[in-house]
Amino acid sequence: MSLPTFVAVAVVTACLLYTSFPVSAQGTTCGVNSACDSCTGDDVKNLTLASGSSVRVCCPNCRSRYSNFGFLSSGQPFCNCNFDRVTGSARKGEECSVAGMTTYFRLNQMPICCPDPLVAEHVRSNSDGSYIFNCEQRGDCWRGSQCSTCNQSYVGNINGVNVCCSNCDAYGLRLGPGKNCNCNRP
């Protein structure tokens, strides 16, 4: 049996031992089988157990396709809906796919973003495995997709995110610590 199959079998078996809907034990937040009835596509994972039977795993209420599984240091398997692990004013997962959003962080492949021109800031990690990310203003620059129509000679970059003066004004940029950006207006 391959390692991914073994992990999937262990996670689902442990989940089924606790409850069938939704699973919530020692950091496990996935729904199993009937909890996934209304989920479609990438929102639900079909896993085959060593016994040959299969089980469906999803984020509760089909909120997101972003989930992960593995083992805690104690050897206890877990399955988490990453969408539920992020709180604060930042957007996450599928919410980042709309226009005007810039991704600043990722949690197990799940994007964490803010609407332009705000910047995401990781506030803290909690002992329960959850995270707080907030969006905040850092200077007067536009960010991300707002700069896509500007003359590229007036566009800067902070950690992979485009920055520019509002309305694509041809002023210099003052880039500072902590993702700060200000237009060098007279």
Q: What is the predicted pLDDT for the residue at 50?
A: 54
Q: What percent of the chain has pLDDT over 90?
A: 14
Q: Whole-prediction pTM value?
A: 0.65
Rounded Cα distance between 32 and 48, Å, is 13
Locate 98 and state its tokens. 């709309």
- Dump pLDDT digits (tens) for 100-126: 888 889 988 999 999 877 888 887 888
pLDDT in tens, 159-169: 788 889 989 99
Q: What's the pLDDT at 117? A: 77
**Alpha-carbon span 120 to 10, nearest angstrom:** 35
* pLDDT tens-place string over residues 15-47: 333 322 333 334 467 888 888 889 888 888 776
**Model confidence at 93, in pLDDT bands (50, 70, 90)?**
very high
Least confident of 6-10, 81-85, 151-155: 6-10
Please name every residue paired with 120 in a beta bridge, in sequence order, or none if there are none. Answer: 135
Tokens of 27: 């950091």
Phi-psi region of 50 (alpha: psi -120 to 50; beta: other; left: phi over 0): alpha
